[in-house]
Structure 1
Amino acid sequence: MTTRTAAPAGPVAGPAATVRPAARRGGVWWLPAAVVALVATVLVAVTIGPADLSVGDVAASVAGHLGLGGVLGLEPLGTLQDGMVWQLRLPRVLTAAAVGAGLAVCGVVMQSLTRNPLADPYLLGLSSGASLGAVLVLVAGLTVLLPVAAFVGAVAALVAALTLAGAIGTITPTRTVLAGLAVSQLAAAATSFVIFWSATGDSYREILSWLMGSVAGATWTSVAVTGIAVLVLGTLLASSGSVLDAFTFGDTAAAALGVPVARVRWLLLVGVALLTGALVSQSGSIGFVGLILPHAVRMLTGARHRLLLPLSALCGASFLVWADTLARTVFAPREVPVGIVTAAIGAPVFALLLWKGRRIA
């Protein structure tokens, strides 16, 4: 098991502080395009698989379960096809979309708050904390408690990181990153010890699948947990665009603009932790989405957060849906964890961004 780390933030803002005028003028048109792309992505992704389904079949199944089939004049699907759409594929696709959207928003917020271009939603040890909680219940055979344990572990990691940063002195971006790194390494070491000491038989496969990230077991409960978390916490985070614009130029500049720096930072960090914890509890640790998507979207729109946040959410949702579609189809009938796919795509993309000389550090 590997743990990604991020370099401490320097004095210069990591995310690009300047906005290209052309990108800012045309950027607003990316939003409706991204909405259309996401809807098309969900509909098409549900049809992909061993069974032969069409977009019309998906529409008929959804309309039937919503009580609109008769109104729209759609023929009901057979039991088998309807079960494939409604019970298997659609919950998985919607969960992947919600997780991708939430991780992308959290990545934008973390990169702005810490002024660190390598920040992602897991920077403060959230992933390692969630992994420790999940592994503890898996080795104990209490799989039903996995989402709760992962969420509690993520929140506990945040509390530990912020407590450590506060004990050092005033909470600054650099101290926050370093404290998160310490908590992450400690939780990762504890996770490895638990696996080494206690995991036996099939529990190894369950643990490995969860640590690599997967939405294979998604249900409508998963859709409800991730969807509500994104709608509530994600919307609150996405509404902080003007505040994050101020943070981009540093705490002093933000305070001069009337932003209560300490209180806002705490609130946003807690919001990121709660949202990340809810997402990780259903999908495991899926890397690179919250790191790569914000940088990719900045190349299209510039660094203004009012556009960057919602567009990152839409692009993150589409990206993870396609990544999960690849994970379940490329090696069919075998399936790989989606975290492997996001890493395989994310690492070369990040290298490409560096090679093109874009200012992301």
Structure 2
Amino acid sequence: MEYRNLGQSGLKVSQLSYGAWVSFGNQLDVKEAKSLLQCCRDHGVNFFDNAEVYANGRAEEIMGQAFRELGWKRSDLVVSTKIFWGGSGPNDKGLSRKHIVEGTKASLKRLEMEYVDVIYCHRSDSSTPIEETVRAMNYVIDQGWALYWGTSEWSAQQITEAWGVAQRLDLVGPIVEQPEYNLLSRHKVESEFLPLYSNYGIGLTTWSPLASGVLTGKYNSGNIPPDSRFSLENYKNLASRSLVEDVLKKVNGLKPIAEELGVPLSQLAIAWCAANPNVSSVITGATKESQIKENMKAIDVIPLLTPSVMEKIEAVVQSKPKRPDSYR
């Protein structure tokens, strides 16, 4: 496993990481979580991602209990969580100072930790001034509840505004953004965010490298496997949006490239994300140890992605965003 700096910070995160979205609390409990987390550690993963909204907080409880029972040294782990959707009350969601402070304390209690390494603003909040959010995130850091802060699914304009506030007030700006990034979803990472990497040293921890499993090819038969994400009631709308003819045609077109390299399509898709130098860590998900072992082998595929292979991939997906002239 290679460890990369999270943006321009000194924090080192494993090139591939593990996220608790969907799985912990919805499909897995503590016993299964422990075996999956141990499998991740055996493969060199040190970065584990969570959020207050995952399984309504249960995902954090499961991860915290699993870590405690496994008895791992806290300094060996990089743990993140995300604040935005904390409950049904009017002040239980968003990025007000009140919810950031209360939500962070509640997350730490569920995780059974004194601090998280990274805390994200899980979405942007149009009803709260960005200055209030930036000040609140700095308060969280000053209290020692988090070491760094970042954003998830913010626009480049919003991140730039947050940095403007931080610089004006001599505060800490967001060091990381967590966007969706895969062969089918590329605009933010490869176009919109380009100025952020050099201007602010923003790192990326990207999610959904397999486009919720679409890029494994397992849905191309037209059937939804009963143990897959798209079989879950909450994800049936996502399935109907994702499993369209054009997408499945592209997935079929990628299969010969993977076969030529002698690797599964899933490993090719994950390696493709990790090969982007602006990506600090690719967050993977899994409900079985076998999936983790398979995903982790993507590390060995990265060196196989020569310029000619990347051109073949692009010829199939044709998803590369056009860069604005000013960024060239």
Question: Which bin holds the TM-score, normalised by the shorter protein?
Answer: under 0.3
Larger Rg: 1
Give the structure with the higher percent helix: 1
Q: Give TM-score scaled by structure 1 length.
A: 0.24
Which gives a bigger RCO, structure 1 or 2 (Cα 8 Å, sep 6+)? 1
Using structure 2 for the length normalisation, give the TM-score.
0.26
Higher strand share: 2
